[in-house]
Amino acid sequence: MAKGGRPGLSVPELIVRKRDGAKLTDDEIHGIVRGFMNGSVTDYQMSAFAMAVYFQQMDFDETVALTLAMRDSGKVLDLGVIDAPKVDKHSTGGVGDKVSICLAPIVAACGVTVPMMSGRGLGHTGGTLDKLEAIPGFRVDLSVREFRAQLRRVGCALIGQTADLAPADKRLYALRDVTGTVESIPLITSSILSKKLAEGIDALVLDVKVGRGAFMKTEADARALARSLVRVGNLAGKRVSALLTDMNSPIGYTIGNALETTEALEILHGEGPEDLRQLSFELAAEMLRAAGVERSKARARRRAESAVEDGSALEKMREIVSAQGGDPAVVDAPDRLALARHRTTIRAAQDGYVTKLDALELGYASMGLGAGRSRSEDAVDWGAGIRLHVQRGDRVRKGDALATLYASRRALVGPGADRTASAIRIGRRRPSRQDRIIATIRS
Ligand code: URA
């Protein structure tokens, strides 16, 4: 890895070097991030640097340096007092992605500590924190002390990013968001990994989504991102692997906070939709393998399934919900969660097969019903969203229910119904099957 570098280069010179395609040294990259945090590198210089990276890329060495510099811009948790392996999962974001809510207790019930830090919904994508807050009383804002104590006691905690972990990423992401520099593989890689490495984990499993409702629209781009995350994570000293998964249609049958939490809890009862089960158990198996609890993926998957069959995953979820101030009765009766009162059902206009459930459009339709936010400061309506009655490939007859919409304001229902109806396509021919899991990428 390139250390040192030419002494004394000014920030404008470093920006020019990157703009012209040079490889920066570790010291130069650490210096830029340090300067960004202490104010000697201005926001406009950092934005110009991000744009230079966007066009010229960074190699793996540079991306590792940027990742570690951003990780070290704040606190790095030391979870060394916990003997169990510590493994987290990160999804690049999608529509109907409620996997974390059932995955975390399944993996924790198998003896792995799961320090899970999640995000909030923005635009067409939902966020685990909003979904969890649909459980009355559930707190996601634990302090670092509470987080660590719960991990020791319960083996799992589901919380939001605390302000003192990787603050450089938070500031840089805010600049990237408004300067056209989000879609850069080295910048996305360092952004995701800096936060995760600050959590004090031993291993990380990534769910890199591809398709209409994902950040990465093509399989080639998603593979490139997954490879970068795995390689950089490994070079930073962690066991990191990734699943590449399909995000052309929503996961399961629900989009919206309470609806999705209910569906995720159903998985812990041994019920729930097949695609959600498949994704949850595959990710659980990969996490157990990464933790070193099982060597073979098949055995790891069996172990995860047993945790649901013997009720230990459900019991773990009761413990997590109680520890975080939520009503544990919801875990046993998931359909208790309140749904918005204005409802309408969309029906098939013709006989045929469901050939398309456009995840992007359905995500925006759900957001428009109040379930999501267009700006990060907006509030969400936990009871709003969409319950699909079909999945891609299902046969329907004219008049069959395709989706039910939920909103707290009557005025939102009409536009939501139009958008939902245009996102669902019925054709004469059954479409080819699309598995959720496309590939597993390891070092
Ligand atoms: N998610 C992140 O955390 N960072 C990015 O840059 C993109 C997605």
For a mutational test of ligand 1's pocket, the pick from 124, 161, 185, 188, i.e. the residue with the most ligand atoms closer than 8 A to its C-beta, is: 188
pLDDT tens digits along 93-141: 999 999 999 999 999 999 999 999 999 988 999 999 999 999 999 999 9
According to CATH, the topology of domain 87-334 is: Pyrimidine Nucleoside Phosphorylase; Chain A, domain 2 (3.40.1030)
Task: Write out the DSSP string of 129-172.
Answer: HHHHTTSTT------HHHHHHHHHHHSEEEEEPPTTSSHHHHHH
Beta strand 352-357 pairing with 203-210: unpaired
Q: What's the gap in Å between 189 CA and the centre of ligand 1?
A: 8
CATH class assigned to 337-427: alpha beta
**Residue carrying structure tokens 């996997």:** 99
pLDDT tens digits along 210-250: 999 998 999 999 999 999 999 999 999 999 999 999 999 99
Q: What's the gap in Å between 248 CA and the centre of ligand 1?
A: 20
Stretch(es) of the chain classified as CATH 3.40.1030.10: 87-334
Which member of 169, 275, 358, 381 is catalytic? 169
**Six-digit token pair at 123?**
């635009």
**Residue 3 CB neighbour total at 10 angstroms:** 9
Taking the C-alpha atoms of residue 266 and residue 163, their distance in angstroms, rounded to an integer, is 33
Stretch(es) of the chain classified as CATH 3.90.1170.30: 337-427
Stretch(es) of the chain classified as CATH 1.20.970.10: 11-56
Residues composing the chain: 443
SS3 state at 59: coil
> The CATH number of 11-56 is which of 1.20.970.10, 3.40.50.12280, 3.60.10.10, 1.10.3720.10?
1.20.970.10
**Six-digit token pair at 230?**
């795995």
What's the longest Cα–Cα distance across the chain? 73
**Six-digit token pair at 384?**
């709003």
Taking the C-alpha atoms of residue 288 and residue 11, their distance in angstroms, rounded to an integer, is 44
Q: What's the gap in Å between 410 CA and the centre of ligand 1?
A: 34
Residue 61 catalytic? no
Distance of CA 279 to the CA centre of its chain: 13
Question: What amino acid is encoded at 94 in this protein?
Answer: G
Can you say whether residue 252 is alpha, beta or left, with left for phi > 0 and alpha for psi between -120 and 50 degrees?
Answer: left
Residue with CA closest to ligand 1 atom 3: 192
Q: What's the gap in Å between 116 CA and the centre of ligand 1?
A: 16
Inter-residue contact 228 to 185 (CB < 8 Å): yes
Residue 306 catalytic? no
Question: Pocket around ligand 1: residues whose beta carbon is below 6 Å from it?
Answer: 173, 182, 187-188, 191-192
**Whole-Å CA distances, 226 to 142, 219, 443:** 30, 10, 10
**Residue carrying structure tokens 């958008």:** 419
Residue with CA closest to ligand 1 atom 5: 188
Inter-residue contact 85 to 112 (CB < 8 Å): yes
Residue 387 catalytic? no
- Atom of ligand 1 lying closest to residue 176 CA: 6
Residue 296 catalytic? no
For a mutational test of ligand 1's pocket, the pick from 192, 195, 221, i.e. the residue with the most ligand atoms closer than 8 A to its C-beta, is: 192
Residue 410 catalytic? no
> How many degrees, rounded to 5, is the angle at CA 232 between CA 231 and CA 234?
65
Q: From first to last of the 443 residues of the chain, give the pLDDT tens digit.
A: 444 445 578 999 999 999 999 999 999 999 999 999 999 999 999 999 999 999 999 999 999 999 999 999 999 999 999 999 999 999 999 999 999 999 999 999 999 999 999 999 889 999 999 999 999 999 999 999 999 999 999 999 999 988 899 999 999 999 998 999 999 999 999 999 999 999 999 999 999 999 999 989 999 999 999 999 999 999 999 999 999 999 999 999 999 999 999 999 999 999 999 999 999 999 999 999 999 999 999 999 999 999 999 999 999 999 999 999 999 999 999 999 999 999 999 999 999 999 999 999 999 999 999 999 988 888 999 999 999 999 999 999 999 999 999 999 999 999 999 999 999 999 999 999 889 999 999 98
Picking from 22, 16, 32, 90, the residue whose alpha carbon sits closest to that of residue 65 is 32
Q: What's the gap in Å between 341 CA and the centre of ligand 1?
A: 34
Outline where 73-142 has alpha helix (H). 99-109, 128-132
Write out the H or E segment, with its range, that includes residue 407.
Answer: strand 401-407
pLDDT tens digits along 403-431: 999 999 999 999 999 999 999 999 999 99
**Which residues lie across from 240 on neighbouring strands?**
204
pTM here is 0.95
